[in-house]
Structure 1
Amino acid sequence: MSKVHVVTEIYIYPIKSLAGISLQSAKAEEMGFVNDRRWMLIDAENQMLTQREHRIMSQFYPQILDGKINITFQNQKHEFSIDESLDDTLEVNVWDDKSKVVEVNQETSKWFSLHLGFECKLVKILNNGARKHESSRLKETFNVSLADGYPYLLIGTESLDFLNDKLDEKITIKRFRPNLVVSTENPHEEDDFKTFSIGEVQFKNIKPCGRCVMVNNDPENGRLKKEPLKTLSKYRNVDNSVLFGTNIVSLNSGIIAVGDEVVF
């Protein structure tokens, strides 16, 4: 890792499992980038909803403007304020973690229910500390958002290029829903990153990220395909987990931007 590594892309996903937003800069916090996966859809039994079961969720596109989140689905639009919520606190599960959340408003929940075709609610994580995630590997507990596990996912550019060389139909980095894309020299060298800094922020690598069938959902059209999981499983299967990208946490808050160098 002698050459300069720089940030090439930054993404946030305000609502879990919906489409992401590409940014030129973002503020990193303990829970993840500001407004990253602070919201989530839950069903009538208060169970989280994801693209794993509802691929159409990839076709809802958020944007953030003037303190509001605007959602576009097909030719329909809806917006709500980043700060708004109802009073009643709910406790929901994000995998094995309990999280305290609040419903945004009934109108927004009805809008998503209409377009998804079943009853659901849009909820927001209550605050920092409302969900804690324990790393069995590090024996540490982290305050996290509504992401599957850790606040940040980092992927090296060579990892995608190496995979695409093996695929008949090339894919984009959007399949893997990273927060940070970093220029690299070798495929999957990000697995071995330890502690490093980007801009004002110091990060720590937790572990490579195990991938599920969700990466086979084409974000352009919501169609399920056989790749890239089929090919990845041939050379990235470790202990029955297909690895791509790595989970990291931030050790402080601060601004990072596209073009920032990764300092080891």
Structure 2
Amino acid sequence: MSAIYIVKEIYIYPIKSLAGISLESANAEEMGFENDRRWMLINSENIHVTQREYPIMSQFYPQILGDKIQITFEGETHEFSINEYLENPIETKVWEDKSEVVEVNQNTSKWFSDKLGFECRLVKINKIGARKHESSRTQETYNVSLADGYPYLLIGTESLDFLNEKLEEKITVKRFRPNIVVSTKRAHEEDDFKTFKIGEVQFKNIKPCGRCIMVNNDPQKGIVKKEPLKTLSKYRNVNNSVLFGTDIVSLNSGIIKVGDEVVF
């Protein structure tokens, strides 16, 4: 009998709020997958910039080419080195978490400023502990990347299928920007996962993920619609938070791959 819980998809999002990259395997680290949300854009007030305010950010497509990241937007490309950054530290926040970042380079910041139409800088978190997130659920503090909260987001296939049954216009899992998609047998059972192993890595479930207006941004077009948040809010609203997927952390480093079994 074949296993039920299998990794179907793996994604990283090198630059916060830009498009993601589908991978066949990924290196799990304490702060999230390698190169996942290690970069983000900040405005002239050092506040992070996301699709919530600028849905067009979904139209910037990154690729990792050796030791470089190449960004494509409306047919134009720009690239920078994964390892480059300027020395001067910048104090910013990701929501309530203080974060220390560094600018990648002035040329890259100008490219993004020109494309988005306002002054911004591309910055990088380049050391463990530069941002810490305290969990109200576990009362523990985690070293995290520039993701909204936790290092990893896991979604079960049945959760999306169940939602799509209720939607007139079907959507893909990319709306929810997961890191790991696993095959499941019932909707939202991933909420109840405790600790589990995928490949070389032990994971711990922290809490179901509360979703925001960003899931209404169609990643293919950069256009905000009413769904799926409208429908989700009818059956997944818990304490004024609309839940979809679950936030997890890794307890060790290692490789996971598409096709790996989820072992409880």
Q: What band does the TM-score fall into relative to the shorter chain? A: over 0.9
Instruction: Provide Cα deviations, 1:25-59, integer angstroms capped at 9, x if missing partner.
Output: 00000000000000000000100000000001000
Shift of 1:222: 0.3
Query: What secondary structure is seen at the aligned counterpart in 1 of 2:72?
Result: strand
Q: Percent of aligned positions with the same letter in both sequences?
A: 78
Amino acid at match of 1:33: F
**Structure 2 matches for 1:64-83, cutoff 5 A?**
64-83=64-83
Shift of 1:4: 2.6
Query: What secondary structure is seen at the aligned counterpart in 1 of 2:232?
Result: helix
Residue 4 of structure 2 is aligned to residue 4 of structure 1: yes
Q: For residues 75 and 162 of structure 2, what CA distance do their matches in structure 1 show? A: 37
Shift of 1:250: 0.1
Q: Is the 8 A contact 2:4 2:185 kept in 1?
A: no
Residue 50 of structure 2 is aligned to residue 50 of structure 1: yes
**Structure 2 matches for 1:1-264, cutoff 5 A?**
3-264=3-264
Amino acid at match of 2:20: G
Q: For residues 153 and 69 of structure 2, what CA distance do their matches in structure 1 show? A: 23
Shift of 1:3: 4.8
Q: What is the TM-score with the length of structure 1 in the denominator? A: 0.99
Unaligned 5+ runs, structure 2: none
Q: For residues 114 and 4 of structure 2, what CA distance do their matches in structure 1 show? A: 48
Instruction: Provide Cα deviations, 1:161-183, integer angstroms capped at 9, x if missing partner.
Output: 00000000000000000000000
Provide the aligned length of Structure 1 versus Structure 2. 263
Q: For residues 3 and 261 of structure 2, what CA distance do their matches in structure 1 show? A: 10
Q: For residues 70 and 12 of structure 1, what CA distance do their matches in structure 2 show? A: 14
Instruction: Provide Cα deviations, 1:71-94, integer angstroms capped at 9, x if missing partner.
Output: 000011100000000010011000
Unaligned 5+ runs, structure 1: none
Please report the RMSD computed on the Cα atoms of aligned residues, expressed in angstroms: 0.8
Query: What secondary structure is seen at the aligned counterpart in 2 of 1:167?
Result: coil
Instruction: Provide Cα deviations, 1:106-134, integer angstroms capped at 9, x if missing partner.
Output: 00000000000000000000311100000
Query: What secondary structure is seen at the aligned counterpart in 1 of 2:6?
Result: strand
Shift of 1:66: 1.3
Q: For residues 80 and 185 of structure 2, what CA distance do their matches in structure 1 show? A: 42
Q: What is the TM-score with the length of structure 2 in the denominator? A: 0.99
Query: What secondary structure is seen at the aligned counterpart in 1 of 2:22?
Result: strand
Query: What secondary structure is seen at the aligned counterpart in 2 of 1:5?
Result: coil
Q: Which runs of 4+ in 1 moved over 3 A?
A: none
Amino acid at match of 1:204: K
Amino acid at match of 2:196: F
Q: For residues 4 and 186 of structure 2, what CA distance do their matches in structure 1 show? A: 13
Query: What secondary structure is seen at the aligned counterpart in 2 of 1:147?
Result: coil
